[in-house]
Amino acid sequence: MDGTKYFAIAEDGGARGAETPIVRMDGRVYPGCMLVDARWYIKPVSAKGLVRRASDELLVFVGSDDKNPGSLNAEIRLRIENDVLTLTETCAVFVPGGAASGDFEVVSVDKPVFRYSCLLNSDTSGEAVPAEASAPAGTYAANVVTGYRPPSGKLPDAPEGFLNLLLYLDGVRLPGAPYMETVWFMTPNDTGPAPHGHDFDEFIGFIGTNPDRPEELGAELQFYIGDEAVTVTKSCLVYIPRGVRHSPIIIPKMERPIIHFSGGNGGDYARRGAVSDSNMFNFD
């Protein structure tokens, strides 16, 4: 088996600017995957207009200061239907399929902001159609989640100092939302989650934290797909179809912390009786 077929790996020499793309997983990389797009916002940008998609969408914004990871050090605004959300903290925004969203604006940036978006039910962004807001104001005002607070209260079981916990989301925390968690990996690590598979498809990201060299992971990472260790030193996205065994995740070398996230289209992950709320940090 060639485990690299599940990977989208950042390439050297990409576009740089106020909005700097890092890496993208879509149907050209793995047909039928969940589309995931990762990028940095370096300076203010805006994109007017609303669109509607059939797919649920997750938007995650992460501040780049690992000493103060809860702050975006920036102000971002976006609209879902008739609700304008103003974001100043590391957070996840859930846009249900069918809701008009857009009017995206990075108003100010003190430090670069990392963002990834995921279409939970589509491998292409081409399905968006122009739309107008129709839902009453307030309908989507609470579709933002901050902090790592699983409904069960159970925290990941990982070596001391390895994780800096940022965000946890699932369908209990926000009805209809997918499972997702986002963390910093702070140190090398010679252990990792036990091999496992899921009955849902999973997206995973490992992103370097130097916006000037967005393609560089700043670490060496080994991710097991089945019995094969795939070694990466670039920022990358991974799509794990349901049933494909994966993990552990081993990090022999690290120059600077990396951002890590995973999620899935399993929705109500915790309530369906998984072994651990945190599928990637079950270190046993």
Q: Which residue is nearest to Fe ion (CB)?
A: 279
Strand partners, 116: 38, 60
The radius of gyration of the chain's CA atoms, rounded to the nearest angstrom, is: 18
CB of 197 to Fe ion, least distance (A): 8
Answer left, alpha or beta for residue 152, where phi above 0 means left and psi between -120 and 50 means alpha: alpha
Nearest residue to 184 via CA among 78, 261, 278: 261
Choose between 143 and 279: whose C-beta lies nearer to Fe ion. 279
CB of 265 to Fe ion, least distance (A): 13
Residues lying near Fe ion in the complex (CB under 5 A): 279
Choose between 33 and 85: whose C-beta lies nearer to Fe ion. 33
Choose between 41 and 116: whose C-beta lies nearer to Fe ion. 116
Choose between 140 and 148: whose C-beta lies nearer to Fe ion. 148
CB of 186 to Fe ion, least distance (A): 20
CB of 24 to Fe ion, least distance (A): 21
CA–CA separation, 189 and 106 (whole Å) = 35
CA–CA separation, 63 and 261 (whole Å) = 14
